[in-house]
Amino acid sequence: LFCLLNAMTQMQQEAARISLPLLLVHGEQDKLVPAKASTFLHDHSSSSDKEIIIYKGLYHEVFNEPEQETALNDVLQWLEKRVT
């Protein structure tokens, strides 16, 4: 538990160093990691190209939910915009 709390504190301290394109996908109903953790990372990163998608009703594993196709398509579209 201490290691997990330490990692979370370090992530908060280092968030501003993230300057590369950033896509965060998160399930609103995630019981393991609150969506506010992704919101914090999004808001505090220095990337000028960042996006966060919070899926209503989804849990921790958005790519293993019944709506996985939506999440996968969102990631694919995000990637295609950056490689074309």
Q: What is the pLDDT of residue 44?
A: 94
Q: What is the pLDDT of residue 19?
A: 95
Q: What is the pLDDT of residue 54?
A: 98
Would you say 18 and 45 are in contact if contact means Cβ atoms under 8 Å apart?
Answer: yes
Locus of tokens 């996968």: 72
Q: How far is the C-alpha of 35 from the C-alpha of 14, rounded, in Å?
A: 18
Q: What is the pLDDT of residue 68?
A: 96
Residue among 34, 36, 40 at smallest CA distance from 10? 40
SS3 1: coil
pTM equals 0.85
Pick out the chain residues at pLDDT < 50. none
Q: Does domain 2-83 have CATH number 3.40.50.1820?
A: yes
